[in-house]
Structure 1
Amino acid sequence: MPAGSTQSGPWLAVLADIHGNLPALDAVLADTRRRGRPDAIIVAGDHTLGAPYPAEVADRLRSVGAVLISGNRDLWLLRAFHGHPPSGWHVGEHCGSGRWTCEQLGEERLRLLDAIPEQTVVHTGGEAPIRVVHGSLSGPAGRILPGDNPAVLARSRLNGEPPPSAGESVAGALSAIAEPVLICAHTHLQWHQRVGGRLALNPGSVGESLCGDPRARYACLHWDGTEWRVSQRAVPYDTSVLAPAFRERGLLETGGGFARATLRDMETGRNFTTHFYRYVAQEAERVGLAEGDVFPDEVWQAAAATFDWEGGAP
């Protein structure tokens, strides 16, 4: 059970969206050990694509016996593994981070990732079961946000994200499942909400927090004898090691603007990635390309050369 608690009973560490960030993951795992080892570690998808430590993250998760599901970025990598890569995969800069990550993971790790389900239900004994998804019940790219949390909704808007559909409300998601607890991820925003005695939560992102500060986020679920109680954590770690690793391991060169935006996300806790993508689309439109086209490297490079890498994300 978490250190300092007067309650007995099992507790679970809930992680998500590590995105290849080993320093952040190790900081979170160390925090769980300081609080008393959890009975299980749940990781709700998007494990390896992002920072320059994908193989190390995959190995670390296997070593701690984590319960894993797939996220949208995991499935994107697996498309290439199965011979159905996105357009431009083999040459395009926009897919450079994906190619680099697959090369680092290698076939054995990719096969292990391929065996992970998109959703799961966690049973820990006599406690109430927990449904785990990455995005929403509709799929790993869905988005659930808490309607009763103005700060989270405001941060989502600053991140450039559209509002969730009515079908992806917390109340709607909880009413659609038999389990009393729903874990989701994908938005990189940390929150929890209770509706009629049932609980939904997003632990936030371990490796690429978009809450406005770069600390590694996760959640603790503690069984109090009748229901799961949630506490949320924000763990500092040394982000200064990331930029040298991006450069020295070759990810920044191979991944171009996408890798640079990911690095800025991790350094700042702000969503440079979405704002950079929008800027790329504006550059593509300027040269006569339509939405849905595969943008050539020249467009990505021109956008990266003029994008505001300091203030381009609020």
Structure 2
Amino acid sequence: MKIAVIADIHGNVVALDAVLADLEKRGGADLIVNLGDCVAGPLWPRETFERLEKLGLPTVRGNHDRRVAEKVSDEMWPSDRFAHEQLTPQQRDALAALPLQLEIASSVLAFHARPDHDERYLADAIVDGYLVRAPLVAIEKRLGQLDPAYRLLLCGHSHRPELVRLSDGRMIFNPGSVGEPAYFDDTEPAHASQQGSPHARYGMVEIDPEGAMHFEFFAITYDWESAARQAEQTGRPEWAHALRTGFMPA
């Protein structure tokens, strides 16, 4: 079984289309799983939603999917507000209705951040204002009483491509972000996530008949300049910098 894994598109339909085209060139997959945060961002939220709606992928709810669907308030983050205003009420309701977690196969569980929470990091820690890999003991504690029958855990949220083997052999796989290669979160403790290049990221897992898992990460060149210009036109120069470089502004 070949499972293509995408996450954190954040309204970047240009990057999404490049990923889908690259996947097709590689022969496709038995299943494409979307790990959420589909549309939030100053790019093309409605176009991205419509593209994903046509694809009909198994999809879990990201924290920004939930936030986009909420009532507008002074506390709403600008990227969520922009997407909220671009979507129809029906589209926002569809995002809110996405499941927190989804069983992809008998041994595969998909979720956005953690199995029980859409906004808390699983495999990451904040050190000196940046995301880094968390200690193994912390990662395993965060999984709590999750059924160990799930041997493969698919997650996104951090935008950092990651592969972690737990002490009992279970695997955590984060493909990185399709459409937002870096971000800054001012929630205390404030921190940045940086993929280090502007490429669109996705991943592939192949599970052989004996149950062995093989992983690949992909970084795809696409027209990130057009995405950066779109961010500039919507008044988000920091997004434009991240889209062009994979880093947040210094």
Q: Distance in 2 between matches of 1:171 and 1:197?
A: 15
Question: CA deviation digits over 1:47-94, x for unaligned, max 9?
Answer: 1011411111111112222111111111111222xxxx44355xxxxx
- Per-residue CA deviation, residues 142-179 of structure 1 (Å, 9 max, x unaligned), is 11227xxxxxx7xx647624875877515753862331
CA drift of 1:243 comes to 2.9
Alignment match of 2:70 (pick from 67, 79, 82): 79
Quote the offset at 1:192 in angstroms.
Answer: 0.8
Gap regions ≥5 residues in structure 2: 182-193
The letter for the 2-side match of 1:22 is V
Look up the equivalent residue of 1:239 and give its one-letter code: W
Give yes or no for contact 1:45–1:68 (8 Å, CA) kept in 2.
yes
Q: Who is 1:231 aligned against?
A: 216
- Equivalence for 2:80: 98
Whether 2:33 is the aligned partner of 1:42: answer yes
Change (3 A) 1:63 1:204: same
Q: 2:93 aligned to 93, 111, 126, which one?
A: 111
Q: Which structure: larger Rg?
A: 1
Counterpart CA distance in 1 for 2:136 and 2:74 is 32
**Any runs of at least 4 consecutive aligned residues in structure 1 with deviations exceeding 3 A, and if so which?**
85-89, 156-159, 161-168
Aligned Cα RMSD in Å?
2.5
Give the aligned residue type for 2:216.
Answer: S
Partner Cα distance (1:87, 1:167) in 2: 38
**Amino acid aligned to 2:84:** C
**Cα deviation digits, residues 166-208 of structure 1 (max 9, x gap):** 7751575386233111011111100112233321111111111
The verdict on how the C-alpha distance between 1:166 and 1:221 changes in structure 2, with shifts beyond 3 A counting, is closer
| Counterparts of 2:164 and 2:91, CA distance in 1 | 35
Q: 1:244: which partner in 2?
A: 229
1:192 is aligned, of 142, 156, 163, to: 163
Provide the residue aligned with 1:220 in structure 2. 204
Relative to the length of structure 2, the TM-score reads 0.84
- 1:173 is matched with 143
**Number of aligned pairs?**
235
Q: Does structure 2 conserve the Cα–Cα contact (< 8 Å) formed by 1:174 and 1:200?
A: no
Give 1:265's match in structure 2, choosing from 239, 242, 248. 242
Work out the CA distance in 2 between the residues paired with 1:104 and 1:208. 19
Residues 16 and 57 of structure 1, relative CA distance in 2, 3 Å threshold:
same
- Structure in which a larger fraction of residues adopt helix: 1
- Please give the TM-score of this superposition, normalised by the length of structure 1: 0.68
Percent identity (aligned) = 29
Residue 135 (str. 1) matches residue 91 (str. 2): no
Secondary structure at 2:17 match in 1? helix
Q: Do the aligned residues in 2 keep the contact of 1:167 with 1:173 (CA within 8 Å)?
A: no
What is the SS of the residue equivalent to 2:130? coil
Once residues 159 and 268 of structure 1 are traced to their aligned partners in structure 2, the CA distance between those partners, rounded to angstroms, is 19
Once residues 101 and 54 of structure 2 are traced to their aligned partners in structure 1, the CA distance between those partners, rounded to angstroms, is: 21
CA contact (8 A) 1:17 1:44 kept: yes
Structure with the bigger percentage of strand: 2
The separation in 2 between residues aligned to 1:141 and 1:265, in whole angstroms, is 21
Q: Is the 8 A contact 1:45 1:74 kept in 2?
A: yes
